[in-house]
Amino acid sequence: MLIARVELRNIKNHAEAEFSFQPGVIAICGPNGSGKTTILEAIAWVLFDHLDYKRDDFVKRGARKGQVVVNFISNLDGREYVVTRDTGGAYFVYDPVTKVRLIEQKNQVVPWLRRHIGVEPGTDLSSLFKTTIGVPQGTFTYDFTLAPSNRKSVFDQVLKVEEYRKASDNLRETIKHVDGRIVEADRKLAQFEGELKVYDEVRRDNELVESSLRALEGEHYSVSAQRDAAARELERLNNLQKSIDSLIGSVERLAVKLELSRASIAGAREAAEQAQAAAAIVEAARKGYEEYLGSSARLADLEKNREARDARRQEVSSAEKEMIEARTLSLRCSERLAEAASARQEIAGLAETIQEQESTEVRLAELREARGELTGLKRSLESTEREIEKLRNRYSTLSRQVEIAESWRDKALDAEELERERSALFDEIRRNEMSLSAFLVKREQLEALRKEQTRLSKDLDNRRSEIARLEPMTQMALSLGEMESRQRSIADRAARLRAELARDRDMISALDSGGLCPLLTEKCLNLKPGESLDARFRSGLKNRAAEIEEIESSHAQVSEEVRLARSAAAEASRLEQLRVELIRLGEDLDSKSIQFGAIADEIESGGVITEAGISKLKDRRSVVEQKLRESRDAEKLFSQAMPLRAELELVQSEGEARKKDNESLSGQIASLGDVESLIAAAERGLASLNDTRGRAALLNRIVSSEEQFKRQAETADRKVDEISANLDKLNLELRKFESLDADISGAARRRSECERDYQAYIANEMIALTAGSRHQEVAEFEAEIERLEQSHSASNQELKDLQQGYDAGAHRSVQAQFDEWREKATQISAQLDHTRERFARLQSQLEHLNAVRELASEILSEKAKTERLRETADFIRDTLLKAAPFITESYLLTISNEANQLYREITGRFDVTLKWSRDYEITLEEEGRERPFLSMSGGEQMAAALSVRLALLKELSEINLAFFDEPTANMDEERRSNLAQQIGRIKDFQQLFVISHDDSFEGYTDQIIMLGERKEITKQTE
C-alpha cells in the first residue's frame, strides 16, 4: 500500500496540518516537540486502530474534537481511498472517484482495511503495527531484551504459532460434533427399525379396506338414485301444494284490495271538484297577473338606470375630492419653495458656532456616560431593595399558605369514597339512558313501519291501476304484425298505381292529331269504332286516380291503427314487470305488518324508564360531583404543603444573598460622586448655542428639496386642469336621468294595484293544473275496481282447477318413500365415511412407513460419510500438532537469513553473521564466536533489531510499508550515517518513514519533511 496524504486537525500540537508523501524513503525531521511522532501516531490510529493513550490526550489543548484524514492507495485494487476518523466517534471510508461513503462503522471499517492493507482476516492490526510495522519510539529493541519465555509470547503471536495449536484444539469440538451425529444416526436407525415391524400388516389391511370401500360406493350409488327419484316426485307435489296455498292468499289479498279501492274513489272525486274551482279562479285573475309581471320587468329596467346614475354621481364626488387635493398640494408646494429661499440665506451665518457645539457635546457625552453608570447602580440598588421587600412579603405569604394547606388534610381524605359513589351513579344513569334510548328507537321504528305500510299500500294501488289500464292493450299489441303486413301491402299497391298513372299521363302528352300509338308509332288496332286513343287513355287515367284515392284513404286508416298498436305494445311490455312488482309489494307489506306487531309487543313487554327518573339520578350525581371537586381541590391544596416549605427555605437563603448585594452597590454609588452639576453646566452651555449644527442640517435638507417641490407644483396644476374637464363631462351625462325617479314611482304604483290578482293566480295555479290528472285518477280508480273484480274471479277459478289435481294421500305416501330411501342412504353414507376415514389412515400410515424406509436408507449412507469425516478430522488435528514446530522453524530460518543480509547492508560489516534462534534471541557470530543481544552495543542492538523487524515484515505480509521512530538512537555519527545510507538503499518497500531529530538522513532519502515549532514545510529531494 502507499500513503499519499495525511491531514491533521486539532491533533496534539498540530492545529491545521497537511502532508503529502511520495513513494520511497521519507524522512520526517525536526527538533524535539515539533510533532514528528504525532504524524506516525495519526496514521497508526486511522489505518491500524492503534493508539497508546486516551483519545482526549490526542486532541490539541483547548479543542473539543480532533480529526485525522489519510489518503492511501490500496494493495487490493490499486485505487485511492480516503479514511477519516475523529475523536468524536466518526470513522468512515470515502471513495473520491464515485464520491460515496463506502463504510461508516468501526466494526465494518477494520475488516475492510485488513483486505486492502493485505493481511489475513482476523489479524490484530494494532498488535501488528506495534510489534512489526511501526514500533513505538524507545521500544525498538525492547522485545529482544526480554526473557526467553516473554520473547516467546511476543513473537509466537507475530509468527502465528499459537494459531496452529488453537486450530488443533478447535478441531476437538468438530470431532465431538461428528461423534454426536454418529450417535444420533444410530439412535434414529433403532427407532426406525421398531416402526417398520408393522409394515407388512399395514399393507394387507390397506388392500382389504380398499376392496370394502369399492363395494360400499356401488351400493351407495344405487340407493341414492332411488332417493333422488322419490325426491323429484315429492318436490312436484310440494310445489303444487305451495301453489294452492299461494292462490288462497292471493284471493284473500285481492278481496282486501277491492274493498280499499272502493273506499278511495270518493276522495278522488272530491279532489277533482276542488281542482275545477281553482281553474275558474286562475282564469279570472290572469289579466291582473300578466300586468303585474310587466310592471315588475319595467321596475327592474329602471333600477339598472338608477344604478348607472348613482355610479356617475359617485364619480363626480371622487373627482371633486381629487380637485381639492390637487389644489391643496399646489398651495403647499408654493409655501415650501418660499421656505427654501429663506433657508439658503440663513445657512451662511451658522458656520462659526458649529465647532463650539461639537466640543461641548463630546464633554456632555462623557458626563452622561458617568451619570448612566451612576443611574444603573442606583436602579440596581433600588431593584435589590424591592427584591428584599418582595422576599419578606413572600416569606410571610408562604408561611400563611403552609398553614392553610395543612388545614385541608381531613377533607382531602374523602375523595376516594366520593369517586366510587360517582362511578356507581354514572353506571346506573348510563343503563337507564340506554334503556330509554332503546324505547325511543323502537317507537321511531314503529312510526317508520306505519309510514312504510301506508306507502306500500299506496304503491300496491298504483300498480293495480296501471295493470288494469295496460291489460286491454295486450290484444291490440298481438295484432301489430298483421296490421304492419297489411300496411306494407297497401303501400305497395298505391306505389304501382302511381307509376301507371304517371305513364298514362306521359302517353297522353305524346299523342298527336294523327291518332298514332306513342309506343308503336302506328294506328292502334284495339280501338272500338268511334273511339280515339286520347279518350281511351283519359278514361283509364280517371279510373286509376279514383282507385289511388281510395287506397290512400285505406292506408291512412291502417297507419293510424298500426300507430295505436305499436303504442299499445310498448305499454303492454311493462305489464309483466308490474305484476312482479305487485307480488313483491304485497309480500313487503305482509313483512312490515309482522315487524310492526313484533316491535309493538316488545314495547308493551319492556319496562318504562322515564326522563324524570334519570333527571333525579343526574341531580344526585351533580351533588356528589360537587363534593368530589371540593375534595379534589382540598387534595391539591394539601399537596402544596411540602413544596411550600422547601420554597420557604429557599426564600430565606435568597434574602440573605440580596442583603449582601445591597451593601456592595451602596459602596459603588458613593465612589462615583456628584456628576449632575457638571452635566447641568454643560447642558446650559449647549442650550445657549440653540443646536446650530442641527439647524444647519435642517436648512440644507429644505434647500435640497426645492427642485422636488417645483416638480410637484407643476404636476398638481396639470391635474387640476384634467379633473375640471372630467367634471364637465360627468355633469352632462347626469342630465339624462332627470325623469328617472318619476318613472320608478309610476311603475311601482301600477304593480301594487295588480298584486291582488297576482296572489290569487299563483295561489290557485298549481291546483288548477291538476284538474285533468284528478279526473284521470277517478277514472283509474274505476278501472282498478273493475280489474280487481276480474282478477278475483280468475284466481278463484284457478284455485278450483289446482285443487282438483292434488291428492293429499298420494303426497303423504311419496313423503314416506322418500324418508325411507333417505334413511338408508344416510346409513350407507355413514359406513362409507367410516371406511374412507380408515382407508385414509391406512394410506397415511403406509406412506409414513415408506418414508421411514427411505429415511433409514439415507441415514445409513450419511452415517458412513460421517464416520469417514471423523477419520479425516483425527488426521488433520494430529498433522496440525506436529506441523507447528516445523513451520515455525522454517519461518525462523527464512527470516534469519533475510535479517542477516539486511544487517550486513546496514552496518557494512560482511564478516559478521546475524542469527535469530528458536527462542527468538538475536546473536552475532564474529570470528567464530557468538555474542548475545544483551552484550551488543546500543548501535549494534538498534541495527540488529531493525534488520529482524524488516525481515519479519517482508516475510509475513504483503505490506510494503514501515515506520522507524528514531532508529539512530544510541548510535555514533558513523553508524547513524551508515544506517541512513542503508535505509536509503532498501528497495523492497514501497514506502519507509523515518523519524529523526538530527540531519543524518539528508541526501539519502527520496523526500524530507522538515517540521519547526510554528511552521511546517515540505522539501523534496531527488
SS3 sequence, 155-171? HHHHHCHHHHHHHHHHH
- The answer on pLDDT for 947 being more than 50 is yes
User: Residue 539's domain is classified under what CATH number?
Assistant: 1.10.287
Q: Which grid coordinates belong to 673?
A: 460622586
Residues 361 and 425 in one domain: no
Mean pLDDT to the nearest integer, 60-78? 90
Cα 596 to the center of its chain, rounded Å:
50
The arithmetic mean of pLDDT across residues 299-303, rounded, is 79
Residue 70 pLDDT more than 90?
A: yes
- Domain membership of residue 146 (yes or no) is yes
Residue with cell 486539532: 10
Of 910 and 437, more confident: 910
SS3 18: strand
**H helix or E strand, kind and range, residue 126:** helix 125-128
Q: How far apart are CA 5 and CA 991, in angstroms?
A: 13
Alpha-carbon distances, residue 465 vs 252, 529, 579, 588, 724 (angstroms): 18, 73, 11, 19, 81
Note the pLDDT of residue 1018. Answer: 45
DSSP for 610-652 reads -HHHHHHHHHHHHHHHHHHHHHHHHHHHHHTHHHHHHHHHHHH
In whole angstroms, what is the distance from residue 420 CA to residue 181 CA? 67
Question: How do beta strands 961-965 and 991-996 pair?
Answer: parallel
Of residues 105, 110, 96, the one with CA closest to residue 46 = 110
For residues 423 and 489, state if they share a domain.
no
- The range of the structural domain enclosing residue 432 comes to 417-455+588-631
The pLDDT assigned to 441 comes to 67
For residues 41 and 614, the model is more confident at 41
For β-strands 91-95 and 100-103, DSSP reports them as antiparallel
Question: Greater confidence, 376 or 459?
Answer: 459
Whether residue 531 sits in one domain with residue 615: no
Burial of 180 (0-12, 13-18, 19+ CB in 10 A): exposed
Q: Quick one: pLDDT at residue 3? A: 93
Average pLDDT over residues 992-1005: 79
367 and 678 in contact (C-beta within 8 Å)?
A: yes
If asked whether residues 9 and 136 sit together in one domain, one would say yes
Q: What average pLDDT score do residues 825-848 get?
A: 81
Distances (CA, A) of 326 to 312, 319, 331, 590, 959: 21, 10, 9, 89, 94
Tell me whether residue 318 is in a domain: no
Of the spans 263-272, 284-293, 398-407, 432-441, which averages the highest pLDDT?
284-293
Q: Three cell numbers at 717?
A: 396644476
Shared domain check, 948 and 988: yes
Same domain assignment for residues 138 and 8: yes
More confident position, 923 or 431 = 923
pLDDT digits (tens, 9 = 90+) for 129-139: 887 787 766 67
**Residue 255 CA from chain centroid, whole number:** 65
Starting at the earlier edge strand, list the strands of the sheet with 929-932.
912-916, 922-926, 929-932
Burial (CB < 10 A; 0-12, 13-18, 19+), residue 906, is buried
Predicted confidence at residue 519, as pLDDT, reads 45
pLDDT for res 527: 52
pLDDT number for residue 327: 74
133, 18 Cβ separation under 8 angstroms = no
pLDDT band of 366, cuts 50, 70, 90: low
Contact 347, 699 (CB under 8 A): yes
Least confident piece of the model among 656-670, 773-787, 989-1003: 656-670
pLDDT tens by residue, 644-681: 777 777 777 777 777 777 777 777 777 666 667 777 77
Residues 6+ apart with CB under 8 A from 908: 978, 982
Distance CA 264, CA 273 (A): 15
pTM tops 0.75? no
Q: Quote the pLDDT of residue 606.
A: 62
Q: Check: CB of residue 58 under 8 Å from CB of residue 11.
A: yes
- Whether residues 60 and 81 share a domain: the answer is yes
CA 247 to chain centre: 63
Q: Which CATH number belongs to the domain containing residue 933 in this structure? A: 3.40.50.300
Whether residue 64 is found in the same domain as residue 111: yes
10 Å CB burial of residue 378 (0-12, 13-18, 19+) is: middle
CA 762 remoteness from chain centre: 58
Highest mean pLDDT among 87-91, 472-476, 805-809, 927-931: 87-91
CA nearest to 940, candidates 139, 141, 132, 138:
141
Q: What are φ and ψ of residue 414, in 5° steps?
A: -85, -5
Name which of 268, 270, 280 is nearest 764 in CA terms: 280
pLDDT in the model for residue 510:
60
Could you tell me the pLDDT band of residue 1022, with boundaries at 50, 70 and 90?
A: very low
What's the pLDDT at 513? 44
| One domain, residues 23 and 109 | yes
Give me the mean pLDDT over the 532-551 stretch. 69
Q: Would residue 852 count as lying in a domain?
A: no
* pLDDT at residue 96 in the model: 93
- Averaged pLDDT, 688-695: 68
- In this structure, of 29-43, 186-200, 437-451, the range with the lowest mean pLDDT score is 186-200
Q: Are 10 and 66 in contact (CB under 8 A)?
A: yes
Residue 620 lies in a domain: yes
The last residue of a domain, from among 670, 692, 714: 692
In sequence order, what DSSP letters do the residues of 81-121 get, joined into one string?
EEEEEETTS-EEEEETTTTEEEE-SHHHHHHHHHHHHT--T
Identify which has the larger pLDDT, 513 or 791: 791
Which of the residue ranges 307-311, 329-333, 361-365, 878-882 would you say has the lowest mean pLDDT? 361-365
Amino acid at 510: A
Give the model's confidence band at 194: pLDDT under 50 very low, under 70 low, under 90 confident, else very high. low
Decide if 1019 contacts 992 (C-beta within 8 A): no
CB hemisphere CA count around 403 (13 angstroms) = 6
612 and 659 housed in the same domain: no
5 to 302, 828, 892, 965: CA distances (angstroms): 94, 94, 35, 19
pLDDT above 90: residue 257: no
423, HSE (Cβ side, Cα atoms, 13 Å): 6
pLDDT of residue 922: 92
User: What cell numbers appear for 670 in the block?
Assistant: 458613593
The span from the CA of 74 to the CA of 93, in Å, is 12
Amino acid at 103: I
Residue 756 domain-assigned? no
Asked if residue 175 has pLDDT above 80, the reply is no
Mean pLDDT across 376-396:
77
Does some domain include residue 92? yes
Report pLDDT for 765.
78
Is pLDDT of 521 > 70?
A: no
| Mean pLDDT along residues 223-231 | 83
Looking at the structure, do residues 154 and 35 belong to the same domain, yes or no?
yes
Last residue of a domain, one of 573, 597, 619: 573
In a domain, 972, yes or no: yes
What gap in Å lies between CA 631 and CA 623, rounded to an integer? 12
Res 427 pLDDT > 60: yes
Residue 6 sits in the same domain as residue 147? yes
| Mean pLDDT of the chain, nearest integer | 77
Distance CA 596, CA 598 (A): 6
Nearest CA-CA partner of 114 in 128, 97, 95: 128
Residue 21 has pLDDT above 90, yes or no: yes
> Using CA atoms, how far apart are residues 487 and 566, in angstroms rounded to an integer?
13
Of the residues 549, 573, 597, the one at which a domain ends: 573
Whether 924 has a pLDDT exceeding 80, the answer reads yes
Q: Is residue 226 part of a domain?
A: no
Number of domains in the chain: 4
- The predicted structure's pLDDT at residue 480: 66
Output the nine-digit C-alpha cell for 992: 519507509
H or E element in which residue 277 lies: helix 199-347
- The pLDDT of residue 607 is 62
Question: Grid cell 355633469 — which residue?
Answer: 731
93 or 135, higher pLDDT: 93
